[in-house]
Amino acid sequence: MAASPGRSLLRFRFTPPSDSATVEDDLRLALFAAECLYGPARLRLEAAYSVRCDGATCIIESRGEAADAAARVFAGLTAMRVGEAGFQVEHLAAGPAEAMPTGTGARPPISGGRR
C-alpha cells in the first residue's frame, strides 16, 4: 500500500444554493462509484463529508485516493446537474485530524455542523 498523501478538504459552493437532498444524493452516488473501485473499507477510512441543510455548501474530507476519486466523480455529477458556472470548488487548509469524522457508513447530519 502506498503512503497516504495526507488530508485535504474541498468545499463545494453552489450558487444559487441547491436542494440539500439532491446534493447528498449526488455525493452518495459518487461515494458508491469510488467504493466500487477501492472497496468499502478503504473508502470508509479515507472519506468524510458534510452537507449544509440549505444546500449552499458541501465539504469533502479526503485522506487518500479513494476519497479523491469520490470528489472527482462528485464534481462531474455536479457539473452535469448545475453547470460549470453553478458551483465553485475551494481547497481549504486542513486543520486538526479530528475536525471531521472518518467514514461514510452512518448518515451524517446535514445541519451544517461537523460531527
112 in any annotated domain: no
Position 45 scores a pLDDT of 95
Each residue of 12-22: b (16+ CB within 10 Å) or e? bebeeebebee
Question: What distance in Å separates the CA atoms of residue 43 and residue 59, rounded to the nearest whole number?
Answer: 16
What domain count does the chain have? Answer: 1
Mean pLDDT computed over every residue of the chain: 83
Position 93 scores a pLDDT of 82
81 in any annotated domain: yes
DSSP assignment of 52-77 equals -TTSSEEEEEESSHHHHHHHHHHHHH
21 in any annotated domain: yes
Higher local confidence (pLDDT), 109 or 17: 17
110 in any annotated domain: no
- When pLDDT is cut at 50, 70 and 90, the band that residue 39 belongs to is very high
88 in any annotated domain: yes
49 in any annotated domain: yes
Could you tell me the residue range of the domain that residue 61 belongs to? 16-93
108 in any annotated domain: no
89 in any annotated domain: yes
Tell me the per-residue pLDDT of 53-103, one tens digit each, with 9 for 90 and over.
988 999 999 999 999 999 999 999 999 999 999 999 999 986 655 444 444
